[in-house]
Amino acid sequence: MMQIRSGAYPQKSATQRLLGAVMLCLLALIGTMPMAGCNGESVAQDIVNWTPALQSAVAAVDSTISIFAPQDAAALTVATAGFNAGSELLIAQAKTYLANPNATVLALLQAQVVAFQQNVNTSLLAAARITNTQSQQQALIAIQAVASIVSAILALVVSVSSPAAKAQMRQAVRVKISDVRPYLDKDRTAELVATHYDIPMPAAAARVRIAEFELAQAGF
């Protein structure tokens, strides 16, 4: 067995340090209090950092639906109608919290991320009901990008939420992640996470697994 002398540990890279902080934040989901390095301000900043990817994903859903036949587009247009407003409101509330962190704004952020996540999960179920196979797959791929980002944001918000706040958030849950899991591609989700945090795919895939498990444990 290889022995490592005391003091001979290699210095951690910036990527490793970031990954460690991310894992701490995700593991804090099972605790009763946010852990050091993962707080409301850092979470709000991360949500704001997701802005370009989220806006691009929402725009891609609109573009995808626009090329569908009317019968395929009708139901999805209704199901995804709240994406633009939901994403903008979520980002605006994160910015508000950064500027003035307080319990009232955090409660609004908690409510909004669950509302948006539920909208997205409902739209995934609607996409799965499209009978045209090609349209169905295109719709699921487009909506998955939004779903992946919103789930990542939900995990962040849950990580700094008290047990009472999480219980309040769960009351709005109608469609759980387990209900839409058959329509999601974990590799695509990991790619988004890897790109956002500039971490290797294996690390991103591990983060996705941890986040999904902890969200399920929290009742989402």
Other CB atoms closer than 10 Å to residue 140's CB: what's the count? 20
Q: Which amino acid is at 43?
A: V
- Give the model's pLDDT for residue 41: 87
Q: Which amino acid is at 192?
A: L
pLDDT per position as a tens digit, 90-107: 999 999 999 999 999 999
Q: How confident is the model at residue 70 (pLDDT cuts 50, 70, 90)?
A: confident
Pairwise CA distance, residues 167 & 159, whole Å: 13
Q: Domains of the chain: which residue ranges?
A: 38-217
Could you tell me the pTM of the whole model?
Answer: 0.80
Pairwise CA distance, residues 19 & 207, whole Å: 9
pLDDT per position as a tens digit, 15-51: 444 444 444 444 333 332 333 346 778 899 999 999 9
Work out the average pLDDT over 133-160: 92
Is the pLDDT higher at 135 or at 4?
135
Q: How confident is the model at residue 203 (pLDDT cuts 50, 70, 90)?
A: very high
Is the pLDDT higher at 31 or at 195?
195
- Give the model's pLDDT for residue 47: 92
Work out the average pLDDT over 52-56: 93
By the 8 A CB rule, do 166 and 218 touch? yes
Residues in Cβ contact with 126 at an 8 Å cutoff, skipping those fewer than 6 apart: 75, 76, 78, 79
Angle (CA) 59-152-207 rounded to 5° is 130
- Give the model's pLDDT for residue 38: 61
Residue tagged 């700094």 (tokens): 160
pLDDT of 56 > 90? The answer is: yes
CA distance from start to end of the chain: 43
pLDDT of 145 > 80? The answer is: yes
Work out the average pLDDT over 76-83: 87
